[in-house]
Amino acid sequence: MNHIQFPADRKMDFIAIGRLCIDLNANEINRPMEETRTFTKYVGGSPANIAIGAARLGVKSGFIGKVSNDQMGRFITQYLTDHQIDTTNISVDRTGAVTGLAFTEIKSPEECSILMYRDNVADLKLAPGDVSEEYIKQSKALLISGTALSASPSREAVFLALEYARKHSTVVFFDLDYRPYSWAYTTDPAIYYSLAAEKCDVIIGTREEFDMMEQFTGNPGSNDEVTANKWFGCNAKIVVIKHGSNGSFAYTKTGQVFKGSIFKTKVLKTFGAGDSYASAFIYGLMQGWSIVRAMEFGSASASIVISKHSCSDAMPTVEEIVEFIAGSRKEEQISP
Ligand SMILES: Nc1ncnc2c1ncn2[C@@H]1O[C@H](COP(=O)(O)OP(=O)(O)O)[C@@H](O)[C@H]1O
Ligand SMILES: O=C(O)C[C@@H](O)[C@H](O)C(=O)COP(=O)(O)O
């Protein structure tokens, strides 16, 4: 049963809108940032990582975003072009804004954190005038990401993109991607996230992210089913609630619930799990697979990425994921 009907005959499969940044991942792992001297530079930003992951799986992808008018901005656009992502709707900031930087600290596989430099960032300068109705009309799906809602004019640009997507039946995915430091007021995220989530077809987030959205409405005990049903009362058809190393649950509007298990791996760092999971899960749905199979693909992709140093560069191909799943099954059979 297909819970999501993707429109046929569109030029593009998938467009993401929002953050295009740089990840600077610590080379010297297992130590605090204060003692870290060298970093490797990768393209980053949650929606960028998801688009790169989708493109690596063969999804015809594009991006709506804004980059800084400097070497960093050009590095990002070139990387996306080299990875078969359409960049025609990425505009260049002319106000002197900079590229957001995410320095990652890998103290241990369990203790990872991100230090963000995000003052006057170009991605949040994306404005409604940068969003093309024609471009969104040409795509089967659109992915929005919560951080782009944290400031104007990026917030309005995303809401306009949502309007265009709904007008043209482009399926909307919402990866909640809640980063508290992006928000000036603690009351704002729940308000804007909810206004956006009301319009989306598939909502993907961690339990903590959904808790943030429910901070005013309450959901005693943070019950996943209660959370999912809230969004089924709006436009959602699938709600995915992730629980880190405890796996994930997908709820459908038709009343089904599926558990996604994890693939054990040698974890190098935990960030990148959500983005790789989302890209492979979306890929699966776009192939018309069952939700369970799409979740398995998502979990396997996450497992591969968290065992590697980067997020974007580590996004696996279909063949790598298939091989990884087959290898994990074999291991299960031989373990006593
Ligand atoms: N330690 C882990 N080992 C294996 N898989 C993991 C681990 N942590 C997360 N995952 C996989 O990545 C998915 C998303 O992870 P999660 O931490 O919930 O999201 P996010 O990165 O957005 O916070 C999980 O549902 C699971 O499949
Ligand atoms: O989103 C960012 O700005 C940083 C990402 O590029 C980063 O690597 C990361 O945190 C990935 O997030 P996750 O997949 O939600 O763990």
Per-residue pLDDT reduced to its tens digit, 246-298: 999 999 999 999 999 999 999 999 999 999 999 999 999 999 999 999 999 99
Q: Which atom of ligand 2 is nearest to the CA of 43?
A: 6
Pocket of ligand 1 (CB under 6 A): 206, 242-245, 247-248, 260, 262-263, 265, 267, 270, 273-274, 277, 299, 302-303, 306
Alpha helices in the chain (DSSP H): 46-56, 71-82, 133-137, 154-167, 188-197, 207-213, 224-232, 273-286, 291-305, 318-334
Q: Which atom of ligand 2 is nearest to the CA of 100?
A: 3
Kindly report, residue by residue over 147-163, the tens digit of the pLDDT.
999 999 999 999 999 99
3-class SS of residue 140: strand
Provide the pLDDT for residue 210. 96
Do 179 and 18 form a contact (C-beta atoms < 8 A)?
A: no
Q: Which two tokens stand for residue 194?
A: 């909810």
pTM score > 0.95 for this model?
yes
H/E segment holding residue 143: strand 139-145
What residue's CA is closest to ligand 2, atom 15?
Answer: 274
Domains of the chain and CATH, by start = 12-19+46-89+126-334 (3.40.1190.20)
Q: Which atom of ligand 1 is nearest to the CA of 177?
A: 22
Q: ipTM greater than 0.95, yes or no?
A: yes
Kindly report, residue by residue over 80-132, the tens digit of the pLDDT.
999 999 999 999 999 999 999 999 988 888 888 899 999 999 999 999 999 99
CA dihedral 162, 78, 91, 15 (to 10 degrees): -10
To 10 degrees, what angle do helices 154-167 and 188-197 make?
20
Provide the pLDDT for residue 219. 80
Of 115, 97, 117, give the one whose Cα is nearest residue 107. 115
Q: Residue 45 burial (CB < 10 Å; 0-12/13-18/19+)?
A: buried
What CA–CA distance (Å, rounded) separates 249 from 242?
Answer: 6
Q: Does the beta carbon of 46 lie inside 6 Å of ligand 2?
A: yes
